[in-house]
């Protein structure tokens, strides 16, 4: 049984403060308790077994990716649709390869929750954290190429202008910053433009399709449209509840996800144009499909809901697993929907049907754990996204575990270990590997980039190391 902890404890520092102030995303402590309680329960059920019985939901070989040590807070399509980047409550960023499915990289920079991810040109992306920092990552580098400082409170959202010249960030410090980008996705030097006007945390951001304006929305219920040309117009209106996320349709219609469970539509001039009551508590996220026809939203108590953007009516509901869902994003071609859930998994769906997508990749990669009756094979499913077992399986986020028993820590040639690991004095044996997952990587290897997870059952640990030893003999 794999159990993953959520460092820092969820609800986080800012979330608790938010609850005190009644901030939208986490509208009440009861909801938080419901959300985190659900997490704890899920983890202790033998989900690996259950998934094995459910075609289409078997670990990373089908519709879902497992590797984060906490709920998945942010998700974005990346690398021309070949990858997905996710950010978690565990402060880790994971770059997932889609076909075949495996974790390419685990990246560490932020001190706490990664709240937002935005794809940038040039195979780069930006991450925004609860620590108020924005990091820009490019290619396969394991360190940010730039860190953008300036915000003084959590970053809640990031958006990139359609012509890819501006990265916009929304923060709980009540401001928005516009960071100039150059064609390679690098953020150019020069001070960002600061946009003020919100009277509370800014939670959502979206550019209009022609890039002429930026729409923002926040806890104060304000929806603001800021023109970006020289003679910039500013429009604003107030909706009936705090707004947690916003999207803008191709025709300029604005759609908000509210703390009261309403999806609201506003015209390009910010006049009310309808609402859908999903009725079940705060909505946390919203995304518009690239062709503008579909909206996806989800919330603390609301399943992933697909809305026909034109008819403004619910077209499908995805009833889990993995609820509540913290983040949704469409693939670049709109044919897949990615969701990041409280159960730490990232899932792929077909937005037309609401059914799991990506089942095909089961055949694209040899699954080392399939049809292996040894109980350790089942436990290893929690590791296989990141670790190969053969000497040659070296392009995953973690080092290959080939020859792990008897290997000194951080000595697999060609793998870029964290400095923390390089400084440690451990030889991997059945005992030390079992201990690693008894106390968890954060405690056993402080400073490691491996996401937090523990294996609570001693028999599972024993089975894992036994199986691992037999599969990794040099
Ligand atoms: C999301 C990716 C991910 C998952 C899932 C994961 N690991 Fe890791 N693992 C890593 C990374 C990254 C490192 C390198 C850590 C560093 O350099 O700080 C690592 C390092 C290790 C090491 C030390 C290797 C060495 O050469 O010193 C062992 C052993 C290990 N992992 C075993 C496991 C096992 C067993 C599981 C499943 C129970 C697992 N890992 C799950 C990413 C992962």
Q: What is the pLDDT of residue 183?
A: 66
> What is the 3 state secondary structure string of 420-472?
HHHCCCCECCHHHHHHHHHHCHHHHCCCCCCCCCEECCHHHHHHHHHHHHHHC
Are 216 and 235 found together in one domain? yes
Are 222 and 340 found together in one domain? yes
- pLDDT band per the 50, 70, 90 thresholds, residue 279: confident
Edge-to-edge strands, sheet with 102-108? 72-78, 83-88, 92-97, 102-108
Encode pLDDT of 73-120 as tens digits.
999 999 999 999 999 999 999 999 988 889 999 999 999 999 999 999
Contact predicate 338/348, CB 8 Å: yes
Mean pLDDT over 342-367 rounds to: 71
Is the pLDDT reported for residue 350 higher than 50?
yes
- Minimum mean pLDDT range among 93-102, 435-444, 459-468: 93-102
Handedness of CA 404, 406, 412, 416 (dihedral sign): positive
Is the pLDDT reported for residue 366 higher than 80?
no
- Give the end of a domain, one of 299, 332, 361: 361
Are 270 and 371 found together in one domain? no
Residue 130 lies in a domain: yes
Mean of the per-residue pLDDT values of the chain? 84
- pLDDT band per the 50, 70, 90 thresholds, residue 441: very high
Residue 16 lies in a domain: no
Index of the ligand 1 atom closest to the CA of residue 408: 27
Are 319 and 396 found together in one domain? no
Residue 415 lies in a domain: yes
Are 354 and 387 found together in one domain? no
Residue to mutate (ligand 1; options 60, 102, 377, 398; most atoms within 8 A of CB): 398
Are 57 and 168 found together in one domain? yes
Is the pLDDT reported for residue 303 higher than 60?
yes
Residue 33 lies in a domain: no
Are 250 and 397 found together in one domain? no
Residue 58 lies in a domain: yes
- Provide the percentage of residues in the chain whose pLDDT is more than 70: 83
Burial class (CB in 10 A: 0-12, 13-18, 19+), 188: exposed
Q: In 3D, which of 152, 156, 62 has the Cα closest to residue 367? A: 62
Are 320 and 387 found together in one domain? no
Encode pLDDT of 190-225 as tens digits.
789 999 999 999 999 999 999 999 999 999 999 999
- Give the end of a domain, one of 361, 387, 406: 361
CATH code for the domain in which residue 380 is found = 1.10.760.10
Q: Decide: 60 in ligand 1 pocket, CB within 6 A.
A: no
Domain that holds residue 447: 366-471
CA of 400 relative to ligand 1 center, distance in Å: 9
Q: Three-state DSSP class for 37?
A: helix
Mean pLDDT over 46-74 rounds to: 56
Q: What is the pLDDT of residue 101?
A: 85
Q: Decide: 369 in ligand 1 pocket, CB within 6 A.
A: no
- Give the end of a domain, one of 361, 386, 401: 361
- pLDDT band per the 50, 70, 90 thresholds, residue 47: very low
Q: What is the pLDDT of residue 64?
A: 78
> 213 or 35: whose pLDDT is higher?
213
Are 317 and 230 found together in one domain? yes
Contact predicate 158/134, CB 8 Å: yes
Cα distances (angstroms) measured from residue 352 to each of 93, 250, 330, 360, 473: 28, 19, 12, 17, 46
Residue 225 lies in a domain: yes
What is the rounded distance in angstroms from the CA atom of residue 164 to the CA atom of residue 177?
15
Residue 170 lies in a domain: yes
Count how many domains the chain has. 2
Residues paired with residue 286 on neighbouring β-strands, in sequence order: 297
Index of the ligand 1 atom closest to the CA of residue 468: 35
Contact predicate 263/255, CB 8 Å: yes
Are 191 and 229 found together in one domain? yes
Give alpha helix (H) positions in 23-132. Answer: 29-44, 47-52
Q: Decide: 400 in ligand 1 pocket, CB within 6 A.
A: no
Mean pLDDT over 283-296 rounds to: 94
What is the rounded distance in angstroms from the CA atom of residue 357 to the CA atom of residue 114?
25
Residue 15 lies in a domain: no
Q: Decide: 410 in ligand 1 pocket, CB within 6 A.
A: yes
Q: What is the pLDDT of residue 297?
A: 95
Q: What is the pLDDT of residue 189?
A: 66
> 472 or 355: whose pLDDT is higher?
472
């Amino acid at each position: 049984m794999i159990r993953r902890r959520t460092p820092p404890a969820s609800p986080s520092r800012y979330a608790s403060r938010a609850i005190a102030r009644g901030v939208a995303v986490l509208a009440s402590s009861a909801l938080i308790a419901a959300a985190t309680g659900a997490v704890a329960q899920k983890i202790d059920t033998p989900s690996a077994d259950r998934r094995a019985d459910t075609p289409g939901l078997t670990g990373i070989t089908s519709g879902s990716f497992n590797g984060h040590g906490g709920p998945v807070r942010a998700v974005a399509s990346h690398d021309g649709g070949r990858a997905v980047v996710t950010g978690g409550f565990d402060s880790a960023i994971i770059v997932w390869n889609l076909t075949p499915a495996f974790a390419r990289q685990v990246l560490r920079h932020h001190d706490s929750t990664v709240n937002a991810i935005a794809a940038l040109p040039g195979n780069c992306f930006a991450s925004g954290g609860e620590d108020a920092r924005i990091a820009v990552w490019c290619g396969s580098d394991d360190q940010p190429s730039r860190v953008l400082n300036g915000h003084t409170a959590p970053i809640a959202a990031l958006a990139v202008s359609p012509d890819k010249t501006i990265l916009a960030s929304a923060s709980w410090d009540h401001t928005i910053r516009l960071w100039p980008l150059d064609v390679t996705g690098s953020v150019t030097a020069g001070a960002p433009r600061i946009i003020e006007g919100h009277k509370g945390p800014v939670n959502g951001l979206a550019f209009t399709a022609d890039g002429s304006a930026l729409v923002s929305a926040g806890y104060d219920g304000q929806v603001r449209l800021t023109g970006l040309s020289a003679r910039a117009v500013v429009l604003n209106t107030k909706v009936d509840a705090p707004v947690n996320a916003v999207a803008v349709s191709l025709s300029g219609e604005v759609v908000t996800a509210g703390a009261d469970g309403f999806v609201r539509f506003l015209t390009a001039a910010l006049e009310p144009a309808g609402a859908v009551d999903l009725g079940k508590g705060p909505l946390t996220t919203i995304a518009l499909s690239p062709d503008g026809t579909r909206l996806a939203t989800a919330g603390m108590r609301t399943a992933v809901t697909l809305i026909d953007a034109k008819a403004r009516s619910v077209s499908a509901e995805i009833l889990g697993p993995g609820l509540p869902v913290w983040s949704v994003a469409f693939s670049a071609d709109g044919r897949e929907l990615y969701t990041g859930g409280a159960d730490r998994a990232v899932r792929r769906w077909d937005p037309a049907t609401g059914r799991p997508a990506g089942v095909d990749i089961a055949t694209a990669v040899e699954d080392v754990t399939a049809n292996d009756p040894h109980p350790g094979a089942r436990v290893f499913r929690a590791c296989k996204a990141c670790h190969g077992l053969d000497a040659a399986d070296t392009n995953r986020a973690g080092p290959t575990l080939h020859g792990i028993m008897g290997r000194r820590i951080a000595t697999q040639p060609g793998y870029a270990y964290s400095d923390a690991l390089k400084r440690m004095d451990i030889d991997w044996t059945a005992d030390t590997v079992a201990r690693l997952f008894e106390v968890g990587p954060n405690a056993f290897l402080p400073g490691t980039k491996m996401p937090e997870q523990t294996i609570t059952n001693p028999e599972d640990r024993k089975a894992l190391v036994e199986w691992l030893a037999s599969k990794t003999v040099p």
